Amino acid sequence: MRTSPPASGRLPEAITDPHTGRKISLLDWKAANLRGSWLLGLLMVVLLGGLGGLIGYAFDPGLATIVLVIAVVFGVGQTLAAYFASDSMVLNVAGARPANEKEHRYLVNVSEAVAIGAGVPRPRVYVIDNPAPNAFATGRDPQHGTIAVTTGLLQLLDRQELEGVVAHEMAHIRNYDIRFMSMLAATVGAIVLLRDVAMRAMYFGGMGRRRGGGGGGRGQILVMILLIVLLILAPILALALRMAVSRRREYLADATGAYITRNPEGLARALEKLRDYKGAPMKVSEGVAHMFFINPKARMNAVGMFATHPPLQDRINRLRRM
């Protein structure tokens, strides 16, 4: 029998990680997300500065310092944008619009009830006009959290199932996953952008063609080789990290969401309906696909290092063992 979300909003201090079976302190998880977010911001500045300096040196050693400074400034700007404006950027990319209090009163009521159970302010609620069932959360903290759901999700799920999905997204907000994943996405995006700029520059000519005697010329060739290796490997490694980190967060958000609603079966049934959905997939940018409840660009049971989400059946089984 279903129990409504508790009015107190109090959750256990620790939750069993469905992925590893070990207890995880929610306070420790939140602190790790906060530390990781700022470390990613610092990493973005360092990587962009280093790659910018290499690009400048490969063109002309005299340009290295100037390009490095420009890249560092860009990295700082990218970090600030990821912190303060990531929610707006993701919502625009996804084509989301604010939920109408009259038209979407059902969704607003569910979000209010689940927010009480999660012990967080009610997030801003958005709707995406798309028949494919899905949802995501974004923002920098619980005071600036946002949840967006598709019209297809609203049509497909009953109230208990919708509460389960909203609670899952509320868990991402409560655990500060939203900030960490926004910073990680920005880091990967900045590196890929810089890679594209360098590749185009090499294609149209100029890199490594500056004249310099002996060791200087050989030095530029070595820098160019190192730059190419970094520009190819850095996005791949960052993407692999994003995928692995995302999967663990999905398991923990499932467990936290089940605690919020006190109804793991509702979330399990929602996942079953999304697993069995046969309609056209949702078209979204690769840069934000990992933030959705299920990856809209992947096969439903995708596995392996580059899968952003765990297999749906695995998530269902773990919920039903809770």
Distance of CA 159 to the CA centre of its chain: 26
Pairing, β 14-16 against β 146-150 = unpaired
The Cα–Cα gap between 290 and 152 comes to 19
User: What tokens appear for 306 in the block?
Assistant: 């580059």
User: What tokens appear for 251 in the block?
Assistant: 């398991």
Out of 112, 169, 272, 286, the active site residue is 169
User: What tokens appear for 284 in the block?
Assistant: 């979204």
Place of tokens 């962009």: 48
* Burial classification of residue 248, based on how many CB atoms lie within 10 Å of its CB (0-12 exposed, 13-18 middle, 19 or more buried): middle
Q: Where are the alpha helices (DSSP H) in the chain?
A: 26-59, 64-94, 105-118, 151-156, 159-174, 177-204, 214-261, 264-275, 312-320
186-83-129-264 Cα dihedral, nearest 10 degrees: 90
Question: Which residues touch 272 (CB under 8 Å, ≥6 apart)?
Answer: 312, 316
The Cα–Cα gap between 274 and 152 comes to 10
Annotated catalytic residue 13 = no
Catalytic site positions: 169
